[in-house]
Every structure is written in C-alpha cells, then in structure tokens.
Amino acid sequence: MTRGRRDRTLERLDGLDRKCIATGESEARDGLIRFVAGPEGDIVPDLAEKLPGRGVWVSATRDAMTKAVEKRLFSRGLKTKIEAPADLPDTIERLLTRRLIDSVAMARKAGAATCGFERVRDTLATGRVAMVFAASDGAEGGKSKIRGLADGAKTCSALSSVELGLAFGRETVIHAALLEGGVTKRVLREAGRLEGFRS
C-alpha cells in the first residue's frame, strides 16, 4: 500500500477526531472540512472526503478558514508549497450551501422531507422529525411558532428562502421538515457545517 493510500485509510477510520490546522483543537469530523494538495500546487476542498492523498482538516467556520489562508497553514500541514486563494472562505461557503441544498433535495425525492407551514406542523405532530428548517429571511413570528412545536428536533436557519426553495423545486420555501430515515445523517451533517460557517 502506498503512503498516500495508507494515510487516507487511516483517516477514514470511524470514530477518530481530527485536529484543525487553524485552531489546533481536535474535533469530530462532522464539524470539519478536509483539504488535499492539487496537482498544480493549489488547495482542493474534499467535502465528500473521498480524494486520495494526505489531507488536512479545518473547522467549518469562516474564522478558522480565514486564519488557515492568511497564516499559510495549508502549506505547513501538507508539507508542501500550497497557494490558497484569498477568496477560499467564500468558495467553501458556496460549496457547503450547494451540498446542503442537494442533500435536502435528495431527502425530498426519498419522501423524507416536506415543506410548508401546515405540512411541517402536521409532520412535527408525528414525532418523527429529525430537523426543522426555517429560512433565514422568513418572518420571525412563523419561525418562532415552528420552533415551539419542534419538541427536541434540531433546527436549522442556515438557508435563505430561495436556497431552501431550490431543494423543493419552488421559488421560495420558508419552513421544511426532515424526517428520520436513511438520508438523515448526511443532511444533518451538511446543515451543521453550513450553520457553523454562516454563524
């Protein structure tokens, strides 16, 4: 087994935390973003954690990402000269947003997500809701009502009404609910990473 493959295999072992190169703290992988060195000496985000080779991890926050770029921490962590663009935090935010939208859309197609105030309210009554989405630009009164009914379900306000609408094939969506099921884990992770980045 080559060194790169061995490193990648070790990184994929379940249950192991990773150290953020910006904060120096060990965290669960769900709150981190992996990067690898590209063939042209560039930094490549590996949000799906499938790219081969040695990787480094950065906390899914804008502050950590900005620090990693400004302090040239990618070169140190990857032990090679790496050029990280100044707009990397903006790029990561766009990628995280796209991944969350796609994940919610996948859940919708699998019958595990619904939208609309009344449907979300009725779905919450079943007790099978894993997460409630409330658009960041939605009216605070409606969002407060839904949060009050959530009863232990996680809530996410990382997406705007237009972004949430993209996941449901609509112009805008204010309220949505994710049911417990096979795609839940991926949606929860993507929601957590984007919320951390936008908070």
Predicted confidence band at 159 (pLDDT cuts at 50, 70, 90)?
very high
Asked if residue 14 has pLDDT above 70, the reply is: no
- pLDDT per residue as tens digits for the range 109-126: 999 999 999 999 999 988
Tell me the CATH architecture of domain 3-86.
Answer: 2-Layer Sandwich (3.30)
- Whole-model pTM: value is 0.87
Asked if residue 15 has pLDDT above 70, the reply is: no
Asked if residue 11 has pLDDT above 50, the reply is: no
Q: Do domains 3-86 and 92-198 have the same CATH topology?
A: no
Predicted confidence band at 16 (pLDDT cuts at 50, 70, 90)?
low
Asked if residue 37 has pLDDT above 60, the reply is: yes
Burial of 95 (0-12, 13-18, 19+ CB in 10 A): middle
Asked if residue 5 has pLDDT above 50, the reply is: no
pLDDT (0 to 100) of residue 139 = 86
Domain segments of the chain as ranges: 3-86, 92-198
- pLDDT per residue as tens digits for the range 128-156: 899 999 999 988 887 788 878 877 788 99
DSSP secondary structure, 102-168, as one string: HHHHHHHHTT-EEESHHHHHHHHTTT-EEEEEE-TTS-HHHHHHHHHHHTT-EEE--S-HHHHHHHH
Report residue 56 as tokens: 């480094």
CATH superfamily of 92-198: Ribosomal protein L30/S12 (3.30.1330.30)
Round to whole Å and give the CA distance between 164 and 129: 17
DSSP 29: G
- pLDDT per residue as tens digits for the range 48-102: 999 998 999 999 999 999 999 999 999 999 999 988 999 999 999 999 999 999 9
Name the packing angle between helices 140-150 and 117-124 (round to 10°): 20
Round to whole Å and give the CA distance between 135 and 156: 8
Round to whole Å and give the CA distance between 111 and 91: 31
In our burial notation (b when 16+ CB lie closer than 10 A, e otherwise), range 13-41 reads eeeeebebbbeeeebebebbbbbbbeeee
pLDDT (0 to 100) of residue 3 = 43
Report residue 156 as tokens: 């996410």
pLDDT (0 to 100) of residue 9 = 36
The residue behind tokens 């072992």 is: 13
